[in-house]
């Protein structure tokens, strides 16, 4: 049995209506958008069956058509040319050749050229759009609804254009060119119409080539970042993009996003904080919070407050009251990633003790060593409780910020907290006194360390002298032994 009948699922017949009904019954299973290859096979089987039914007595053979129009021959040669098939200039040259034909000839050739293009597995859609514009290919009313749908779907694909510049494949073997074009065409198609299957499509393919094309690179950055997939090659691509366009927000975002997804830690923090401050957005918020959750979970509740302070610019805003903030606090609290100190902080904010209860705060009485993180916790808790701090923790944070000692994340959070605190002249005086006190303490510590180090160096120097003397004595004894042995 001819394979066309196997595809249609019927016995060979000359009944055109029977063939048409079999084709229409299978059509929903092979829609041109969801399964273009399956649809093409079904369509070819349908056309072969119609041809067989129209002339069943003829022995169908594949013979060269000697009377085929020279334009059709030239078009097939263009599509088969490894050198010219992706070259817009070669297509323009073909269109000039087409312009030499009469209007009647062009009318006859218009849809024959379209049929040839629709049969091609690999074709430059951007180049084909030039021909489509010249021949005015538009959806037509057809006797066969299926043919009309097929043409409309094909013209829509041509309108979208290539997934990338196919000329970037010029140096690759022909087979690799075809495979790469087909893969990215399919990938873009799935992203556009079936995004829920995009991750599966990436995993099925395995290894693949990334052509050197900016348009494709930016699509890949968008696709992978949206799917939360990190890729080392995309980090390099994003870095080159940002180097070429330093003020481009998208380039900066995708670079930070891919570095985060690839697991980069402390080396990313400064760039991340810079992006958050330069480009306020929910995307920047998500990057900062995502990094804190992965690498510094104890800073996460504080970063949430910084995000909230920027988003809630209302004068009546009360820190810690937004639904998003409390949801994020609850999430990190129950994640098991916070230290006991961090859990105490979040738990304290949830129960919202009154300002007068600050003296009994768990953070101020649990005997934790004085650290910038503890100072941040204490200051943040007082801000949430509306007990604006006038104590050393907040002043120490400001001093570290002014002297450039704070890490980027600490600086960012300190600035957010200080925006909610009104400093009075007395507070400024107290801060200066504390700064002087800390400076003197630091100098005293250095002096003490220097005094401790001096005896150690002297002792070390004395030991070295003794060792040198012992070595010299040993050499003299050895020389005397040799001298007496000689006599």
Q: Read out DSSP for 110-150? A: HHHHHHHHHH-SS--HHHHHHHHHHHT------SSHHHHHH
The pLDDT value given to residue 364: 54
Give alpha helix (H) positions in 334-371: 340-351, 362-365
pTM of the model: 0.70
Inter-helix orientation angle 425-486/392-402, to 10°: 60
The pLDDT value given to residue 462: 61
First to last CA, the chain: 118
Question: What confidence category does residue 151 fall into, taking pLDDT thresholds of 50, 70 and 90?
Answer: confident
Tens digit of pLDDT for each residue in 95-122?
Answer: 999 999 898 899 999 999 999 999 998 9
Distance in angstroms (rounded) separating the CA atoms of residues 210 and 208: 7
> How many CB atoms lie under 10 A from the CB of residue 219?
17
Between the alpha carbon of residue 34 and those of residues 128, 153, 164, 190, the distances in Å are: 22, 11, 21, 8
Cα dihedral angle (380, 384, 385, 391), rounded to 10 degrees?
A: 30
Residue 401 has pLDDT above 60, yes or no: yes
Cα dihedral angle (53, 56, 61, 63), rounded to 10 degrees?
A: -70
Give alpha helix (H) positions in 171-231: 174-193, 198-205, 214-226
Residue 356 has pLDDT above 50, yes or no: no
Q: What kind and span of H or E run contains 458?
A: helix 425-486
> How many CB atoms lie under 10 A from the CB of residue 243?
10
Residue 355 has pLDDT above 60, yes or no: no
What is the mean pLDDT of the segment spanning 318-326? 80
Highest mean pLDDT, choosing among 22-26, 30-34, 145-149, 400-404: 400-404
The pLDDT value given to residue 359: 43
Q: Which of 61, 116, 122 is CA-nearest to residue 94? A: 116
What is the mean pLDDT of the segment spanning 361-384? 74
Q: Which of 438, 437, 460, 440 is CA-nearest to residue 448? A: 440
The pLDDT value given to residue 457: 58
pLDDT > 70 in the chain, percent? 76
Distance in angstroms (rounded) separating the CA atoms of residues 364 and 375: 10
Rg (CA), the chain: 38
């Amino acid at each position: 049995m001819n394979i066309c009948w196997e595809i249609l699922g019927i016995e060979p017949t000359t009944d055109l209506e029977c063939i048409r009904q079999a084709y229409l019954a299978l059509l929903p299973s092979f829609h041109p958008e969801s399964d273009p290859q399956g649809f093409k096979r079904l369509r070819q089987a349908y056309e072969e069956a119609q041809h067989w039914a129209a002339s069943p007595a003829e022995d169908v053979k594949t013979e060269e058509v000697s009377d085929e129009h020279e334009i059709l021959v030239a078009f097939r040669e263009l599509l088969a040319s490894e050198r010219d098939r992706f070259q817009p200039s070669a297509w323009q040259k073909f269109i000039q050749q087409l312009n030499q034909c009469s209007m009647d000839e062009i009318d006859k050739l218009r849809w024959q050229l379209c049929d040839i293009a629709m049969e091609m597995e690999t074709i430059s859609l951007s180049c084909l759009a030039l021909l489509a514009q010249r021949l005015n290919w538009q959806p037509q009313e057809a006797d066969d609804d299926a043919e009309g749908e097929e043409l409309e779907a094909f013209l829509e694909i041509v309108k979208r254009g290539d997934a990338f510049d196919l000329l970037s494949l010029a140096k690759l073997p022909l087979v690799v060119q075809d495979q790469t074009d087909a893969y990215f065409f399919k990938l873009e198609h799935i992203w556009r119409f079936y995004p829920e299957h995009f991750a599966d499509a990436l995993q099925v393919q395995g290894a693949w080539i990334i052509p050197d094309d900016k348009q494709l690179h930016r699509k890949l950055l968008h696709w992978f970042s949206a799917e939360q997939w990190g890729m080392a090659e995309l980090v390099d691509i994003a870095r080159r993009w940002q180097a070429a366009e330093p003020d481009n927000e998208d380039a900066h975002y995708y670079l930070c996003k891919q570095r985060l997804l690839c697991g980069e830690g402390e080396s990313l923090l400064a760039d991340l904080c810079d992006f958050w401050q330069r480009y306020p957005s929910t995307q920047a918020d998500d990057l900062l919070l995502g990094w804190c959750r992965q690498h510094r979970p104890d800073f996460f509740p504080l970063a949430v407050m910084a995000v909230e302070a920027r988003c809630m610019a209302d004068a009546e805003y009360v820190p810690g009251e937004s639904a998003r903030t409390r949801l994020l606090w609850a999430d990190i609290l129950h994640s098991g990633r916070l230290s006991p100190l961090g859990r105490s902080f979040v738990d304290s904010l949830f129960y919202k003790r009154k300002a007068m209860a600050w003296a009994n705060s768990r953070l101020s009485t649990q005997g934790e060593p004085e650290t910038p993180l503890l100072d941040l916790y204490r200051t943040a808790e007082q801000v949430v409780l509306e007990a604006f701090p006038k104590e050393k923790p907040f002043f120490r944070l400001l001093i570290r910020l002014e002297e450039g000692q704070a890490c980027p994340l600490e600086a960012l959070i300190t600035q957010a907290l200080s925006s909610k605190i009104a400093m009075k002249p007395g507070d400024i005086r107290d801060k200066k006194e504390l700064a002087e006190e800390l400076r003197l303490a630091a100098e005293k510590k250095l002096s003490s360390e220097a005094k401790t180090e001096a005896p150690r160096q002297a002792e070390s120097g004395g030991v070295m002298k003794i060792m040198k003397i012992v070595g010299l004595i040993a050499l003299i004894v050895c020389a005397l032994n040799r001298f007496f042995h000689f006599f």
